Amino acid sequence: MTTPLWWYVARSSGMVAWVMLTTSVIWGVVLSTKAFPSARRPAWLLDLHRWLGGLTIAFVVLHIGALLADSYTHFTLADVAVPFASSWKPGAVALGVIAAWLLVAVQATSLAMRRLPRRVWRWVHLTSYATFWLTSVHAAFAGTDRESPMYLVTAVCTIVAVAWSAMYRLTNRKARRPSPARPGASTLGRSTPVH
């Protein structure tokens, strides 16, 4: 295969990964708000969210693999795994590396969700927003397509969609369930019903 092919694969897989990440973040917002109340939520909604996250990982792996295979930029394994190791646009590439590691953390904790405290899973999962923004800045400064119409349309659509969904999430949060009383916990300060 010729070098330009790997460069095209790297660019296109990066764009597709960005769109998949956008879709996964938006779908996560749909699941975490009142859009689908828990009582009426079909199981496939969560499965779709997980599938979108898996697709994002797959396209990031393809993006990194194509960068390693391409001879134009001469990326090494350290360049794509360690922030600021790359000599080619080090800051922009570092943002992509950090975003990739955050994505791995989100996916790994999602797979181990039942074994983790809910609070730990939630905080790691919230880094999905940071992953999206880091990816967007990485695409703007490391990508070579930033002036193409397709990139510009993709950038505007993804950024507007995630910003809107984040605002929607903040204004339509689900009510938190009260935590159950621990056995032996003091009842001082609680009002007792008067009969």
pLDDT above 90 covers what percent of the chain?
Answer: 57
- H/E run at residue 62: helix 43-69
Task: Tell me the per-residue pLDDT of 73-128, one tens digit each, with 9 for 90 and over.
Answer: 789 999 999 999 999 999 999 999 999 999 999 999 998 988 999 999 999 999 99
Q: What is the pTM of this model?
A: 0.81
Residue of 15, 20, 31 lying closest to 57 (CA atoms): 20
Confidence of residue 39 (pLDDT cuts 50, 70, 90): low
pLDDT-based confidence at residue 171 (cuts at 50, 70, 90): confident
Query: Over the stretch 3-25, which tens digit does the pLDDT of each residue have?
Result: 588 989 999 999 999 999 999 99
The domain spans of the chain are: 3-171
**103 CA to centre of own chain:** 5
Instruction: State residue 191's pLDDT score.
Output: 42
45 vs 181, higher pLDDT: 45
* Upper half-sphere CA count for residue 23 (Cβ side, 13 Å): 18
Q: Report the alpha-carbon distance of residue 174 to residue 151 in Å, rounded.
A: 35
* DSSP symbols for 137-195: HHHHHH-S-TTSHHHHHHHHHHHHHHHHHHHHHHHSBPPPPPPPPPTT---TTS-----
